[in-house]
A and B are shown apart, each in its own frame.
Chain A
Amino acid sequence: MILGWIVVLTLAGGALAWSGGRRASRWIALGTLALDLVLVGPLFLRRPATPAGRRWLAELVLPWMPRYGVGIHLAIDGLSLLLIVLTLVLGILAVVASWREITQRTGFFHFNLMAVLAGILGVFMALDLFLFYLFWELMLLPMALLIAIWGHERRTRAAIKFFLFTQAGGLVMLVSILGLAFVHHADTGVLTFDYPELVGTPMPAAVEMLLMLGFFLGFAVKLPAVPLHTWLPDAHTEAPTAGSVVLAGLLLKTGAYGLLRFALPIFPEASRAFAPVAMTLGTIGIVYGAVLAWAQTDLKRLVAYTSVSHLGFVLLGIYAAGTVAQEGAVVQMLAHGLSTGGLFILVGALQERLGTRSLDRMGGLWAMAPRMGVLGMMLALASLGLPAFGNFVGEILVLVGSYPRSPELTAVATAAMVLATAYSLRLVQRTFFGARAEPASVLQDLSARETAVLVAAALGLICLGLYPQPVLDTAEPALGALRTVFGQVARR
């Protein structure tokens, strides 16, 4: 029941924020998210008591459209729990980070933000595939509006492009969901969209491959896997800070989550056959994203392309499909959320002060803004995968885990980490060090509010980097359960 309340509360908070005034709407949004976090907290304590018999930490089942086999089925395990916490934390960071940036139509801004977050929370909870699709679509429109109304110069185009890509991918997924339900119906005579019942539906290889590709396409657009990533740089660059944080930190994760939760367990054989392709796509993404990030002069675009690279690791890890690789993918998802979210907040702060995102017009900012420099340096180092930060743990686990599956791809991915070093150091060097491009400009250092946000992100990354065991312990039972089906096929 608590799961339903969290989604409803978030939506209600959004509606309330809309009706509230400028100041009130911020506090309402913040308070709602904090309350959500308080509600979620106790679920962590249930963590150890998860024997094989009881898979879900919390569950909600309600009838909805019984004739179509559609019900309201929300449930979370350790994997969902981690991502839900990430969602709420990044949501709070996003609200705080846009405290001063958003001055126009503040109420409606927070409504959209909360609606996106509610959709994302729903995606991480929904086990009924119809409901899952509903939440999947629910987050798109408010996100597009966030970009289109409060974005930068070319916002309309970016918003529409984002919406079209993700929505088209979603429609393909909807057809696959229906196909899956009908295959299940043909086998058992029961029409249902309920995930636990659909797992293990036997089907011929060709059908399985086709349906799996439909799911993969929907998730790969969000992730984004390389040929489908072109919406990402535009959307991330044009979005307001909070939008970029939510996009990079959370929306991309829904694609990875979908692969882990649905694509692999429901279509084990096809996923197994498809794994080399997916892993190759992941590796291409790692290299391609890093190379393009290195070539950018727009700071926000640079950070956007690093997402393509980092999510490549996630894709690689998911399809390498071992314990280590998938745990790595989960840690990478959390760490990427914090590090990229932090970087976007930093870039947002820079743009607010300098009125530009161009690297050519920065340089030598350390002297004027040392706090910004220190935090920026830390986030950049985290992003390049320096030990002691969460990204290192994620990437190394992914690489270790995928080595037995494909030494060649692992080698390429490892080599690409050098590129990550290159673009991260370039970012720091061109902004904070070097000659001052515009000596006349005066740069105000981070305010206490901004510092707190970035310090929180950095601390989170360090915790993940130094002691990731609690996270791994939370995720592993869930990942193990997801892998059982898949692993059986793998051994065959």
Chain B
Amino acid sequence: MSADELRAISPLIVLGAAALVALLGITIRRSHRFSALACVVGLALAMASLFLRGSAPPPGPLLVADDFAVVYTALVLTASFAVAVLASGYMARRQRPEELYVLLLVATLGAVVLVWSGHLVSLFLGLETLSVSLYSLIGYTRTGPRSVEASIKYLILAAASSAILLFGMALVYAELGTMVIIEMGPALAVASGRTLVVPGVALMVTGIGFKLALVPFHMWTPDVYEGAPAPVTALVATVSKGAVVALFVRLAWALGAAGQAALLVAFGIVAAASMLAGNLLALRQDNLKRLLAYSSIAHLGYVLTAILAGGPGAIEAVSIYVTAYFVTILAAFGVVTVLSGPDGDADRLEEYQGLVWRRPFVAMVLVLSLLSLAGIPLTAGFIAKFAVIFAGVRSGLWTLLAVLVISSAIGLYYYLRVVVVMFAAAPAASAVAPPVPQSSRVLLLCLALILVWLGVYPVPLQGIAWTAASSLARESPPVTTPLGPATARRP
């Protein structure tokens, strides 16, 4: 392996090294400060190396580092960085905080491998690295039965879904004779009439659908969101889902020819069901973490709608949506994190009553992120929803758009309900909330500013998302247009 090739994969090396340093640090002397610092510095160095890695491609077919991968890697690293900062404040009030950072770094490494994967083997490797770290992270604080339940539930379901994914990959390989993702499209065009491809793809999508918590693979979400420590929930909602979305887009683009009517209809139904079920189930929640869990199901439904729209414009919409969602949900769980005392997370809705008057700063951040989730103008969420509807209208996905509009209107109700609760009069005897660590305060301020900035002036984000989308389109020219026609609707 040449020096250039090593440089090309330097972000992965830095992440792995940082995990080792953090681990070795623990074996010498336990120090929360050192572990957190190793994690944060490691993530920052990985980010730096992402832009200093040179122009040489990574060696072999396993990894792809196109602009698309770079954008999603940057997102993943930023989100992990935010989670690390939040966790350092959160874990300061809890026992044994050090290993969390090692697991966080390993999970990030897995997510980056997933984003870079150009081959089914690296895909599986990345996914498993990510999942195994998440098993332990979800049950990390072990504060009660809820957290253990969440961990076990995630372990069993994730393991089962990995097995399904693996079987699907085997079927696809059996028919196409290749595991390199960009070679699968042309192979598929030649291998018309191979019966096992569709079930193979369907099984792979099942595995991916589990990670994304799309209906009907969404059952684990509310329990895991509720049981996991708040920073880890943020990690599950952003890094894990974002990386899998990136992979899904790459696969969908490469397998464009597999956009057969049956699969398209199936995806359409999954998207519609996710949007509706997520928003409907969230209506009755009195627990903010569960509410956000159901809302995440709906949001991934929106993302899937954009993916189904097809074409580079749709990929741009996906990237915009994922970015906006990252910022928004990190801000939301950031607030949950800083409000959580040592005896459990602040997740019951009544704990938020009158928060605007008690804790104006954190409350306003949460209000902003809820508005962004609801897609209200001047927040990132609005630009993201606009991009998705834009892609949908261009491809004429009228049924899905109708579902999107209806379910968004339903969604408004529960977001607004939380906002109204926060603006209600404060209860007479409210619990004394812990002070907000300075680092978390700065982080929340940054997230809120980005949230508004993206909503007011999204042009740079749109440009970056377009670069990412066109790099994907350039490096793996699809045999047909991906997942259906992307032509403008002609009257």
Give A contacts to B, CB under 8 Å.
64-68, 105, 130, 133-134, 137-138, 140-141, 144-145, 148-149, 156, 159-160, 163-164, 167-168, 171-172, 174-175, 178-179, 182-183, 185-187, 203-204, 207
Interface residues of B in 176-206 (CB under 8 A from A): none
Interface residues of B in 416-448 (CB under 8 A from A): 416-417, 420, 423-424
Asked if A207 contacts B405 (CB within 8 A), the reply is no
Asked if B491 contacts A186 (CB within 8 A), the reply is yes
Asked if B462 contacts A68 (CB within 8 A), the reply is yes
In the assembled complex, how far is the CB of residue B388 from the closest CB belonging to chain A, in whole angstroms? 11
Residue B220, interface by CB 8 Å: no
Asked if A144 contacts B416 (CB within 8 A), the reply is yes
In the assembled complex, how far is the CB of residue B301 from the closest CB belonging to chain A, in whole angstroms? 15
Chain A CB count within 10 A is highest, among B357, B377, B458, for B377
Q: Which of A156, A163, A179, A187 contacts B412 (CB 8 A)?
A: A163
Closest 6 CB pairs of A and B: A168-B409, A178-B393, A134-B377, A137-B377, A171-B405, A204-B491
| Interchain CA distance A185-B491 in the complex, whole Å | 11
Asked if A185 contacts B389 (CB within 8 A), the reply is no
Contacts of A185 in B (CB 8 A): 488
B408 (CB) vs chain A CBs: closest residue: A171
Asked if B376 contacts A171 (CB within 8 A), the reply is no
Asked if A159 contacts B420 (CB within 8 A), the reply is yes
Asked if A203 contacts B491 (CB within 8 A), the reply is yes
In the assembled complex, how far is the CB of residue B188 from the closest CB belonging to chain A, in whole angstroms? 31
Interface residues of B in 374-431 (CB under 8 A from A): 376-378, 382, 386, 389-390, 393-394, 401, 405-406, 408-409, 412-413, 416-417, 420, 423-424
In the assembled complex, how far is the CB of residue B460 from the closest CB belonging to chain A, in whole angstroms? 11
In the assembled complex, how far is the CB of residue A173 from the closest CB belonging to chain B, in whole angstroms? 10
Contacts of A66 in B (CB 8 A): 459
Residue B72, interface by CB 8 Å: no
Asked if B389 contacts A174 (CB within 8 A), the reply is yes
Please tell me the number of chain B residues within 8 Å of chain A, measured between CB atoms. Answer: 33
Contacts A65-B462, A137-B376, A167-B412 given; does A145 touch B491 at CB 8 Å: no
In the assembled complex, how far is the CB of residue A326 from the closest CB belonging to chain B, in whole angstroms? 29
Contacts A67-B462, A171-B409, A175-B405 given; does A148 touch B420 at CB 8 Å: yes
A207 (CB) vs chain B CBs: closest residue: B491
Contacts of B489 in A (CB 8 A): 182-183, 186
Proximity bits, B435-471, A CB within 8 Å = 1, else 0: 0000000000000000000000111001100100000
| Interchain CA distance A182-B487 in the complex, whole Å | 11
Residue B29, interface by CB 8 Å: no
A-B contact count, CB below 8 Å?
80
Interface of B is mostly: helix
In the assembled complex, how far is the CB of residue B413 from the closest CB belonging to chain A, in whole angstroms? 6
Asked if B420 contacts A164 (CB within 8 A), the reply is no
Contacts A183-B491, A186-B489, A204-B491 given; does A68 touch B390 at CB 8 Å: yes
Q: Which of B378, B405, B491 contacts A138 (CB 8 A)?
A: B378
In the assembled complex, how far is the CB of residue B359 from the closest CB belonging to chain A, in whole angstroms? 15
Asked if A186 contacts B376 (CB within 8 A), the reply is no
Asked if B488 contacts A67 (CB within 8 A), the reply is no
Residue B490, interface by CB 8 Å: yes
A149 (CB) vs chain B CBs: closest residue: B423
Contacts of A168 in B (CB 8 A): 405-406, 409, 412
Asked if A160 contacts B417 (CB within 8 A), the reply is yes
| Interchain CA distance A65-B316 in the complex, whole Å | 15
Contacts of A186 in B (CB 8 A): 488-491
Asked if B462 contacts A141 (CB within 8 A), the reply is no
A138 (CB) vs chain B CBs: closest residue: B377
| Interchain CA distance A66-B462 in the complex, whole Å | 11
Asked if B390 contacts A178 (CB within 8 A), the reply is yes
Contacts of B488 in A (CB 8 A): 182, 185-186
Contacts of A159 in B (CB 8 A): 416, 420
Asked if B377 contacts A175 (CB within 8 A), the reply is no
Contacts of A203 in B (CB 8 A): 491
| Interchain CA distance A185-B371 in the complex, whole Å | 31
Contacts A137-B377, A160-B416 given; does A167 touch B409 at CB 8 Å: yes
| Interchain CA distance A68-B401 in the complex, whole Å | 19
Asked if B378 contacts A182 (CB within 8 A), the reply is no
Contacts of A137 in B (CB 8 A): 376-377, 382
Contacts of B420 in A (CB 8 A): 148, 156, 159-160
| Interchain CA distance A66-B378 in the complex, whole Å | 18
Asked if A164 contacts B389 (CB within 8 A), the reply is no
Contacts A137-B376, A160-B420, A186-B488 given; does A179 touch B393 at CB 8 Å: yes
Contacts A65-B458, A67-B466, A178-B389 given; does A148 touch B423 at CB 8 Å: yes
Asked if B466 contacts A175 (CB within 8 A), the reply is no
B394 (CB) vs chain A CBs: closest residue: A182
In the assembled complex, how far is the CB of residue A183 from the closest CB belonging to chain B, in whole angstroms? 6
| Interchain CA distance A172-B382 in the complex, whole Å | 15
The 18 sampled A-B contact pairs (Cβ below 8 Å) are: A67-B459, A67-B466, A68-B462, A134-B378, A134-B382, A138-B377, A138-B378, A148-B423, A156-B424, A160-B416, A168-B412, A172-B405, A179-B393, A182-B489, A183-B489, A186-B488, A186-B490, A204-B491
